[in-house]
């Protein structure tokens, strides 16, 4: 499949490289077509890899991944172009983190709204799936770094889009039984607000390579 | 130990009953000394159980548990009395959930503050430990309802108070290795904001009897 990855940071490049290994064609999108990180990434990865502006990438991709910084995502997606997102599965892996007030970061949107919802409202024809934003880039593409089975979430309004995203998660190493569908795109509030806990887990464990396993229990007796 | 449990809802009564089984004396506190739920609970549990106003309970307890509704916790603790909380370990298990706008609930405080921090600021001499607010009442007192080992968090500014709270968690069935210390009381933001995810997990799994296991991973090669 031709996949656009918007964002040339660690998350975008890590996802892009993993998708190339999976046999996809990947175009990294950034604000400037001569973005250094993107040019270096293309040089490293050969002819299935390409780079361009957000619009170049979105035009190329049959599926689009938003891996831009959350605070910049709406602008980046506007540059990608509403028409070029229309009808496509848009996997939103961004978190609306605001580091401007120091550590720990706060969220630019939360509680009664989320970045996932903002993206879906701003691009109503895109088929937004919130996914992968609860793990660090290395775990996104190599879940086996964390022992045993652990959980990745999908949320979105379009069941087919969630199925497509789940297939892609499967290619990245996430067994179907590890993928938990949280419902519609409003559930992005849950996975984005989990960042406030995730950052503390990172601090407590001393490494961002971590995840949670969600485990159901039994009803209490009586 | 003499323990005050503020709040006579499911959480307060469930914790109170479990602490009685563990050999503690428990006084439930509520706004009115003749609170029906509290009176019935005392009648059911015999002479180590008692009930009274928030102030009666706080005066009785060597350790205090805040199990009131989060939106009412600061008022309830004010009625308990600042002097009666001073120097005591105060385990805050409440979540600042606001159901007034329907489901899903929002939080009355989040992002750059938390109920745990508000409580610590309002009662600076209390030794606040945020704990147990990430699981439903049944799991708080019977973690074995969820198979395998899973995680409970403590957060607070006073290391000794966290050690005391962790001992009490041990009595409730939480192995020491399942207790994760997230740091100071600001980490309450993390565990309270996790509610936004927890509510979606409840919906997705169809039961509130669930928990997460936090699992560290290995650093990626290269």
CB contacts, 8 Å: A182 with chain B: 200-201, 203-204
Assign B97 to helix, strand or coil: strand
- Partner-chain residue, chosen from A145, A187, A220, that has the shortest CB–CB distance to B220: A145
Backbone phi, then psi, for B114, in 5-degree steps?
A: -155, 165
Assign B90 to helix, strand or coil: strand
Nearest residue on chain A to B207, judged by CA atoms?
Answer: A216
Taking the Cβ of residue B178 and every Cβ of chain A, the question of whether any pair is shorter than 8 Å is answered with: no
Query: What does pTM read for this prediction?
Result: 0.97
Q: Contact A146/B216, CB-based, under 8 Å? A: yes
Q: How many Cβ atoms are within 10 Å of A42's Cβ, its own excluded?
A: 19
- Reported as a single tens digit per residue, the pLDDT across B62-121 is 999 999 999 999 999 999 999 999 999 999 999 999 999 888 999 999 999 999 999 999
Q: Contact A194/B189, CB-based, under 8 Å? A: no
CB contacts, 8 Å: A111 with chain B: 106-107, 110-111, 196
CA-CA distance, B85 to B59, in Å (whole number)? Answer: 8
Interface pTM, i.e. ipTM: 0.97
Q: Could you list the pLDDT tens digit for every one of the 222 residues in chain A?
A: 999 999 999 999 999 999 999 999 999 999 999 999 999 999 999 899 999 999 999 999 999 999 999 999 999 999 999 999 999 999 999 999 999 988 899 999 999 999 999 999 999 999 999 999 999 999 999 999 999 999 999 999 999 999 999 999 999 999 999 999 999 999 999 999 999 999 999 999 999 999 999 999 998 876
Q: What are A51's two structure tokens?
A: 């780079």
Taking the Cβ of residue A10 and every Cβ of chain B, the question of whether any pair is shorter than 8 Å is answered with: no
Q: What domains can be seen in chain A, in order of their start residue?
A: 2-205 (3.40.50.720)
């Amino acid at each position: 499949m031709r996949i656009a990855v918007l964002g040339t940071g660690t998350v975008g490049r890590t996802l892009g490289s993993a998708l190339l290994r999976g046999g996809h064609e990947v175009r990294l999108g950034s604000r400037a077509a001569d973005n250094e990180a993107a040019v270096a990434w293309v040089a490293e990865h050969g002819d299935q890899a390409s780079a361009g502006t957000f619009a170049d990438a979105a035009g190329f991709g049959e599926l689009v991944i938003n891996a831009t910084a959350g605070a910049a995502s709406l602008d980046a997606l506007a540059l990608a172009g509403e028409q070029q997102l229309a009808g496509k599965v848009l996997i939103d892996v961004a978190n609306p983190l605001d580091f401007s007030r120091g550590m720990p970061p706060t969220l630019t949107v939360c509680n009664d709204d989320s970045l996932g919802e903002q993206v879906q409202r701003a691009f109503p024809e895109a088929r937004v799936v919130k996914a992968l934003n609860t793990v660090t880039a290395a775990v996104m593409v190599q879940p086996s770094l964390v022992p045993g089975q652990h959980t990745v979430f999908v949320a979105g309004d379009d069941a087919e889009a969630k199925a497509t995203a789940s297939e892609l998660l499967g290619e990245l190493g996430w067994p179907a039984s590890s993928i938990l569908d949280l419902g519609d795109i409003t559930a992005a509030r849950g996975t984005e607000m989990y960042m406030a806990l995730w950052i503390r887990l990172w601090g407590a464990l001393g490494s961002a390579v971590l995840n949670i396993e969600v485990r159901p229990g039994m009803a209490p007796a009586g």
